[in-house]
Chain A
Amino acid sequence: MRPLLQETVERLLADAVTQDLLRAAETGVWPADLWAEIEALGLPLAAVSEDLGGTGASWTDIFVVIRACGAAAAPVPLPEAILANSLLASAGLEPPESGVIVFAAGSADAPIAEVPWGRHAQWLALHDAVAGRIALHSLDGAHITTDTNVAGEPRDTITLATGSLIKETATSAATDTVLLAGAMLRSAQMAGALGRLTEINADYANERIQFGRPIGKFQAVQQQLAVLATQAAAAVAAAEAAFLLATPSAEFVTTSSAKAVAGEAAGKGAAIAHAVFGAIGFTHDHSLHFLTRRLWAWRAEYGSDAFWAERLGQAIATAGDDGLWLLVTGAFAETSNP
């Protein structure tokens, strides 16, 4: 299933996400055709079990979808929709059949900050950690204050309209559900963007001529590209581990590792990419910034690398010197091949 899912999504996004589409999206244009294709493929319901109308894909399968969204800089909240529907379904609530759905943490009675793609969404899966409830709200009539992250992606503040509640149920009061889920998504998106960054850097190093030869002939440039590739590889490997979701306790360990590693890799990788592309890559006309600005934005969202490193460090210190290795090995439960 995973190879087919990967090929389908990569092909769809490669065809649809053009530079024009990305530029239009940054001015606020919603790519309705692309979203219609995504819904037609049933992708937003990928993680939802079949009895609730979904596909029942494993998170290991879904990893390639999220990574592809990152690689393409897809200006649609497919990662958010997959997760929002999964949050609802795992609480026993049937997700809406269609319409853009995103997720957030907060209370229905107060403004909800930094809702990804809020202005384009019809539905909101809201986790209220204090009340221990998960709810589906309609965004009809919601008051929306628009804002964006550093990549120009919508991150809006939403005040729900009266009567927005469609359905809700009690859930665990775990405060980190949305934070962990968001960190997991962003780590995979960063892994995808870093992979694409490595690929376009290698292509450019072979094309750009200076001193009479392609700049990729210079060892200084080769060594930089190799570092970029290893950072991309580390982000992929760390995110893959997070998407195993081996056990509930592993979820925290592998997700914090993934967000910390991918975040650090994003910083290093974007810097190398801009060094290799030189001045042309610093222009708005060039497409490089669609990836690098997203890497900067995603590194910051749902906890920076330092934030997650500190949390993981607290857990390691609690485990102690003898517990360190048990914690590391325990994060990868031995399972049959997914």
Chain B
Amino acid sequence: MRDGPAVVIDSPTLTANRMSQQTVFSGQNNILECISQTLRKRAVSNVREAFVNLLDQFGPPVLPLGLEPLRADVRTFLADWGPSYPAEKRALSWMGFDADFSRSLGAKGWLGLSIPKQYGGNDASPFERFVVSEELLAAGAPVTAHWIADRQSAPLILRHGTDAQKERYLPAICAGELYFCIGMSEPASGSDLASVRTKADRQPDGSWVLNGRKVWTTNADRCHFMIALVRTDPASERHAGLSQIIVDLTLPGVMIRPIKDLSGHEHFNEVTFDDVRLDADALIGVEGDGWAQATSELAFERSGPERFLSAMTLFRCLVGAVGPTPDARQAMEIGRLAAWLIALRSMSISVTAQLAGGEDPVWAASCVKDLGTGYEQDTVEVSMRLIDSLPSGPRAETTRRVLAIVQSMAPSFSLRGGTREILRGILARGLGVR
């Protein structure tokens, strides 16, 4: 807005003027009451400000100028790569594994985008990563090989790692050659993550001996390293005494057992550590700071486009199968999904802007994940409601098969990366209840 004559007014002065008038007119005896009223009003308005600030995190969803060439490049690359890649595989979204594809993205310079150039990255902003990610996900490209390394492990290593760790891991991550998984949950530690019992015991020579068990570890069987949250202080309880440790999954004593999920896929695993010996430099960051380090990555983990595009292939198939002349019910259902998709993209862009500004918008990111995963599951619901109404033909058949795949994955959408109920607890705490 340009400087205009009319609207610009110093509102604190306005309020002060009003106060003094009130004071004059109400007389000396009422001054105390007037002040106390003002204080009460201020107390209320402070609460209000705290809350309004939370919603203000969803500011104008503006992408900075200059990203269009990058988006166009990614679209061209995808058009060249995948005309024959079937919808049934695209349906796996960021659970689709293809190391060749990940390496080709690395060769394009699209992995580790925000990592400094000296470590093989591109020194780019979170917006570049947002654009590349959403284009890959919207196309249902197989990104799972590098996904965790690119999203979480590389930023973690950059932030907390030693120079040697950065040099060892980051260039290979950026090249799409080195894959990481995250070791969080354990058989007795699901949502209650602070109860983890896997332990790393420091040896006199500084090395570590690792014992314990992680479960639901996505892609452990196809990754090179795990960043695990483990107890390094045996006397500690809950959030204290935890550290993050990098585990070479080829070491003796590491046993990886794939767990078949209800759809028949083996995306996640049980990983057992039996006296695994790790070098001193396996520790990442500060010993005992593991909880803070792990939770500081949550905004990255919970606000990205993968939290609302997991069912995008199904939505695309549905739109294609409905065809150009939908009836009123079909139009209403697909329009409603599109309306929420646009709202979620707006939210995700706003959170990305905050990440780009160096902030840590965990509350807003939790909003995106709670709504986004619900939206993905709703895509299955809407598809179920419309499936019998689709004009018969190959598009309807494909949509049926894709629906079956996404439907059987959908329960995990609101479990992985923090359950819906845990997220809502975080949201409630942010509102000042709890």
* Chain A contact residues, CB within 8 Å of chain B: 1-2, 4-5, 7-8, 11-12, 14-15, 41-43, 45-46, 50, 54-58, 60-61, 63, 195, 198-199, 202-203, 205-206, 214, 216-217, 219, 221-223, 225-227, 229-230, 232-238, 240-241, 243-244, 253-254, 256-258, 260-261, 264, 305-306, 308-321, 324-325, 327-329, 331-332, 334-338
Q: In the bound complex, do residue A238 and residue B342 qualify as a contact, i.e. CB atoms below 8 Å apart?
A: yes
Which partner residue on chain B sits nearest A39 by CB separation? B6
Q: State which of A2, A7, A233 has its C-beta within 8 Å of the C-beta of B11.
A: A7
Known A56-B1, A306-B332, A313-B334: A260·B339 in contact at CB below 8 Å? yes
Known A42-B6, A240-B61, A317-B326: A309·B11 in contact at CB below 8 Å? no
Q: State which of A203, A225, A241, A260 has its C-beta within 8 Å of the C-beta of B346.
A: A241
Q: State which of B47, B331, B345, B367 has its C-beta within 8 Å of the C-beta of A229.
A: B367
Q: In the bound complex, do residue A14 and residue B322 qualify as a contact, i.e. CB atoms below 8 Å apart?
A: no
Q: In the bound complex, do residue B58 and residue A237 qualify as a contact, i.e. CB atoms below 8 Å apart?
A: yes
Q: In the bound complex, do residue B434 and residue A55 qualify as a contact, i.e. CB atoms below 8 Å apart?
A: no
Q: In the bound complex, do residue B332 and residue A8 qualify as a contact, i.e. CB atoms below 8 Å apart?
A: no
Q: In the bound complex, do residue A42 and residue B4 qualify as a contact, i.e. CB atoms below 8 Å apart?
A: yes
Known A311-B335, A314-B326: A320·B18 in contact at CB below 8 Å? no
Q: In the bound complex, do residue A1 and residue B336 qualify as a contact, i.e. CB atoms below 8 Å apart?
A: no
B252 touches A (CB below 8 Å)? no
Could you give, for residues 315-328 of chain B, a 1 whenever the CB lies within 8 Å of some chain A CB and a 0 otherwise? 11101101111101
For the complex, give the distance between the alpha carbons of A261 and B51 in Å: 21
Q: What residues of chain A lie closer than 8 Å to B319, measured between beta carbons?
A: 316-317, 319-321, 324
For the complex, give the distance between the alpha carbons of A261 and B9 in Å: 34
For the complex, give the distance between the alpha carbons of A325 and B208 in Å: 49
Q: What residues of chain A lie closer than 8 Å to B166, measured between beta carbons?
A: none
Interface of B is mostly: helix
Q: In the bound complex, do residue B346 and residue A240 qualify as a contact, i.e. CB atoms below 8 Å apart?
A: yes
For the complex, give the distance between the alpha carbons of A56 and B6 in Å: 10
Nearest CB of chain A from residue B364's CB, rounded to whole Å: 7
B86 touches A (CB below 8 Å)? no
Nearest CB of chain A from residue B367's CB, rounded to whole Å: 5
Which 9 pairs, one residue from A and one from B, show the smallest C-beta to C-beta distance? Answer: A42-B6, A313-B335, A313-B331, A321-B320, A55-B4, A216-B433, A226-B424, A312-B335, A1-B1
Which partner residue on chain A sits nearest B54 by CB separation? A229
Q: In the bound complex, do residue A55 and residue B1 qualify as a contact, i.e. CB atoms below 8 Å apart?
A: yes
Which partner residue on chain B sits nearest A216 by CB separation? B433
B98 touches A (CB below 8 Å)? no
Q: In the bound complex, do residue B324 and residue A318 qualify as a contact, i.e. CB atoms below 8 Å apart?
A: yes
Please give 9 more A-B residue pairs, beta carbons under 8 A apart, in addition to A238-B346, A256-B335, A336-B65: A4-B8, A206-B432, A237-B343, A240-B350, A260-B336, A264-B336, A306-B336, A313-B334, A317-B325
Q: How many residues of B contact A (CB 8 A)?
A: 79
Q: In the bound complex, do residue B364 and residue A233 qualify as a contact, i.e. CB atoms below 8 Å apart?
A: yes
Q: What residues of chain B lie closer than 8 Å to A244, measured between beta carbons?
A: 60-62
Q: What residues of chain A lie closer than 8 Å to B332, measured between beta carbons?
A: 306, 309-310, 313
Q: In the bound complex, do residue B4 and residue A317 qualify as a contact, i.e. CB atoms below 8 Å apart?
A: no
For the complex, give the distance between the alpha carbons of A338 and B71 in Å: 22
Which partner residue on chain A sits nearest B332 by CB separation? A310
For the complex, give the distance between the alpha carbons of A320 and B319 in Å: 6
Q: What residues of chain A lie closer than 8 Å to B312, measured between beta carbons?
A: 325
Q: In the bound complex, do residue B428 and residue A225 qualify as a contact, i.e. CB atoms below 8 Å apart?
A: yes
B32 touches A (CB below 8 Å)? no
Among B2, B9, B339, B424, the most chain A Cβ lie within 10 Å of the Cβ of B339
B68 touches A (CB below 8 Å)? yes
Nearest CB of chain B from residue A199's CB, rounded to whole Å: 4
Q: In the bound complex, do residue B431 and residue A12 qualify as a contact, i.e. CB atoms below 8 Å apart?
A: no
Q: In the bound complex, do residue B343 and residue A261 qualify as a contact, i.e. CB atoms below 8 Å apart?
A: yes
Q: What residues of chain B lie closer than 8 Å to A335, measured between beta carbons?
A: 62-63, 65
Q: Tell me the chain B residues, 112-141 only, with Cβ under 8 Å from chain A.
A: 134, 138
Which partner residue on chain A sits nearest B4 by CB separation? A55
- 7 pairs of residues in contact across A and B, judged by CB atoms under 8 Å: A42-B4, A57-B1, A240-B58, A241-B346, A308-B339, A328-B345, A335-B65
Q: State which of A219, A233, A260 has its C-beta within 8 Å of the C-beta of B55.
A: A233
For the complex, give the distance between the alpha carbons of A309 and B62 in Å: 24
Nearest CB of chain B from residue A86's CB, rounded to whole Å: 14
B85 touches A (CB below 8 Å)? no
Among B66, B320, B330, B338, the most chain A Cβ lie within 10 Å of the Cβ of B338
Q: In the bound complex, do residue A50 and residue B2 qualify as a contact, i.e. CB atoms below 8 Å apart?
A: yes
Q: What residues of chain B lie closer than 8 Å to A58, measured between beta carbons?
A: 1
